[in-house]
Chains A and B, each alone.
Chain A
Amino acid sequence: METSEARDDSVGSRIGMWLFLLSEILIFGGLFLLYAVYRAKHPVDFHNASLALSRFDGTLNTAVLLTSSLTAVLAIYSLQELGKKRASAWFLGATIALGGVFLVVKGFEWAAKFEHGLYPRAAELLKHPPGEILYFGLYFTMTGLHALHVIIGMTVLSVVLSWVVKGSVNQKRSAILENAGLYWHLVDIIWIFLFPLFYLIS
């Protein structure tokens, strides 16, 4: 086998990426299990607690992330299929920007919860029934871990963007762009489940 081929194994890197994504799914899977059990124990408290969330903000953020997934896939398509470096770079930039919009909306939501004393171990929250305390604990843990993934995704996409601009990631060598896209879509999928479970159960 030629050495250049051995060094540039796009299938191998894709398999590696998918295995990593599966481990990510299991991390969130554990939290979803916790959610399912606590919700079964405290259905009314979960219902009441979710009234505190803004359904509009949640829906807006869902649309933002879905759109960012479209721009991510278009960035890959532009480079791999069309060989258009500039278009690919712009789509990547749009994806990162939409990730930023998501975080800003999330930040406002979190700030509003903090203002109302609805954060873990807050004196105000501890007066609520146990199920509501659990709900907000899970809310901050799960959306927080998800937001961390958004930040990591934006960082990875920014690095890949700089490589696309530089030309070291190009039409022939785009495995890392593809993998960064896979990571971003996974973050989107996790949100697809977080959104109804926290925002749409009241």
Chain B
Amino acid sequence: MALARYIWIWVALLVLTAITVTTAGLNIGRIAIVVVLAIAAGKSTLVLLYFMHLATEKRVLLKILVPIAITVLAIFIGLTYTDVLTR
């Protein structure tokens, strides 16, 4: 049922938030940023797929828009970042 699914997604988002705050408090060093960003990516995916209805979207155009944006951003940020780091 759709209503129950929305509520479960919300619960999952809150649980992931709790996990990310706990992880950050653990003092596990440099790997922490990777973990919290991975969780943020996971949370965003849940919001995009279920709250923004991309999971049930039938139009191919809309389905590929977000992956395109993410690819552009990844190139954009990734290339500049490696340039700065290796200067």
List residues of chain A with CB under 8 Å of any chain B CB: 11, 14-15, 18-19, 22, 25-26, 29, 32-33, 36-37, 40-41, 55, 59, 62-63, 66-67, 69-70, 72-74, 77, 81, 181-182, 185, 188-189, 192-193, 195-197, 199-202
Contact = CB atoms under 8 A, between A and B. Distances in A.
A40 B30 CA distance: 12
A37 B59 contact: no
A78 B69 CA distance: 30
Contacts of A192: 40, 43-44, 47
Contacts of A185: 47-48, 51-52
Given A40-B85, A74-B6, 8 more contacts: A15-B61, A25-B73, A29-B77, A59-B21, A62-B17, A185-B52, A189-B47, A196-B39
Contact of A69 (B7, B40, B51): B51
A63 B15 CA distance: 10
Interface in B28-69: 32-33, 36-37, 39-40, 43-44, 47-48, 50-52, 59, 61-62, 65-66, 68-69
Contacts of A41: 84
A199 to B, nearest CB: 8
Contact of B80 (A14, A37, A199): A37
B36 A33 contact: no
Dominant secondary structure of chain A at its interface with chain B: helix
Given A33-B81, A37-B81, A193-B40, A70 B62 contact: no
Nearest to A189: B44
Interface of B: 2-3, 6-7, 9-10, 13-14, 17, 20-21, 24-25, 32-33, 36-37, 39-40, 43-44, 47-48, 50-52, 59, 61-62, 65-66, 68-69, 72-73, 76-77, 80-81, 84-85
Given A15-B62, A29-B76, A189-B47, A196 B10 contact: no
Contacts of B9: 70
B77 A32 contact: yes
Given A33-B76, A73-B6, A22 B47 contact: no
B8 to A, nearest CB: 10
A62 B48 CA distance: 17
Given A37-B80, A63-B17, A196-B20, A189 B48 contact: yes
Contacts of A72: 51
A70 B65 contact: no
Contacts of B14: 63, 66
